[in-house]
């Protein structure tokens, strides 16, 4: 009995020691109201008030939720632009509805390029003012965020290094960039992008080093599921909702 108790205690200690501290990856930058005038000087920190739900709202990671990061990210950004809050049930249904629309348009539910996400924003959600930026700079991203524009960003998911992803993490991933912090910091590790990373339930206000996220930006490349290295050939692009 003593041996069993010791084994359980040891396993608990090891598990605790190996579990990442979630607070180390979270931003405490207060949310900002949308700007009412043209910004002439960027603040050192900015955080849009974008609601968070994960791409598997009910905790079910079966299809289509396993591949629903694109839909979840676009819906969250759209809800911010339309000043809408959704319950978990409403968010779940919104994902299903968007997936069904894609099946009608493309014949299947598939990995989406950022151009296809833009098409969904235009044709399904009714956007007339969106922009895809190729090879975005950190300054461009900060400027759009400070102007009140949420950003949907495709990435090579395993390049993000998120410790809360399952296994190695997704080959292809999409998330929302909602803010930034430490723009005046001298240490690059203190300059962060704030995201809603739908790939984990811990993804609200999740921070990545600016350079880490920037370098991980890659659009979808056909064949990446069979050969994960291909995703690194994807162009660096982001989608801006206005």
Task: Convert the pLDDT of each residue in 108-128 to its tens digit.
Answer: 999 999 999 999 999 999 999
Task: Between 22 and 15, name the one with better pLDDT.
Answer: 22
Residue 8 has pLDDT above 50, yes or no: no
End-to-end Cα spacing for the chain: 64
Predicted confidence (pLDDT) at residue 219 exceeds the cutoff of 60: yes
Q: How far apart are CA 179 and CA 116, in angstroms?
A: 24
Residue 96 · residue 60 · CB < 8 Å: no
Would you state the pLDDT for residue 11? 45
SS3 labels along the chain: CHHHHHHHHHHHHHHHHHCCCHHHHECCCCCECCCCCCCCCCCCCEEECCCCCCCCCCCCCCCCHHHCHHHHHHHHHHHHHCCCCCCHHHHHHHHHHHHHHHHHHHCCCCCCCHHHHHHHHHHCCCCCCEEEEECCCHHHHHHHHHCCCCEEEEEEHHHCCCCCCCCCCCCEEEEEEEEEECCCCCCHHHCEEEEECCCCCCCCCEEEEHHHHHHHECCCCCCCCCCHHHHHHCCCEEEEEC
Specify the pLDDT at position 36: 65
pLDDT exceeds cutoff 90 at 212 = yes
For 95, the token pair is 């994902």
Please provide the CATH number assigned to the domain covering 52-241.
Answer: 3.90.70.10
In this predicted model, what pLDDT tens digit does every residue of 151-192 receive, in sequence order?
999 999 999 999 999 999 999 999 999 999 999 999 999 999
pLDDT at residue 18, as a whole number: 57
Spatial separation of the C-alpha atoms in residues 69 and 32, rounded to whole Å: 25
Give me the mean pLDDT over the 17-22 stretch. Answer: 72
pLDDT of residue 222: 97
Residue 41, pLDDT score = 87
Domains in the chain: boundaries:
52-241
Give mean pLDDT, residues 15-23.
Answer: 68
pLDDT at 33: 78
Question: At which residue do the structure tokens 């069904």 appear?
Answer: 100
Q: What is the mean pLDDT of residues 132-160?
A: 98
| pLDDT the model gives residue 14 | 43
């Amino acid at each position: 009995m003593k041996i069993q108790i010791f084994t359980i205690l040891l396993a608990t200690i090891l598990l605790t020691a190996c579990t990442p501290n979630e607070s180390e990856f979270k931003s405490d930058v207060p949310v900002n109201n949308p700007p009412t005038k043209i910004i002439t000087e960027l603040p050192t920190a900015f955080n849009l008030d974008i609601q968070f739900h994960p791409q598997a709202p009910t905790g079910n990671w079966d299809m289509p939720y396993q591949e629903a990061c694109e839909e979840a990210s676009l819906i969250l950004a759209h809800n911010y632009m339309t000043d809408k809050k959704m319950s978990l049930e409403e968010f779940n249904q919104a994902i299903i509805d968007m997936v069904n629309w894609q099946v009608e348009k493309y014949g299947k539910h598939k990995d989406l390029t950022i151009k296809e996400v833009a098409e969904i924003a235009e044709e399904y959600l009714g956007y007339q003012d969106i922009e895809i930026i190729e090879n975005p700079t950190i300054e461009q991203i900060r400027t759009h965020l400070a102007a009140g524009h949420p950003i949907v960003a495709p990435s090579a998911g395993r390049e993000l290094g998120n410790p809360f992803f399952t296994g190695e993490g997704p080959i292809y991933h999409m998330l929302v960039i909602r803010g930034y912090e430490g723009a005046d910091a001298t240490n690059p590790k203190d300059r962060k992008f704030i995201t809603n990373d739908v790939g984990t339930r811990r993804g609200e206000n999740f921070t990545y080093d600016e350079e880490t996220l920037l370098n991980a930006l890659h659009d979808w490349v056909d064949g990446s599921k069979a050969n994960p290295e291909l995703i690194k050939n994807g162009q660096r692009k982001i989608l801006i909702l206005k």
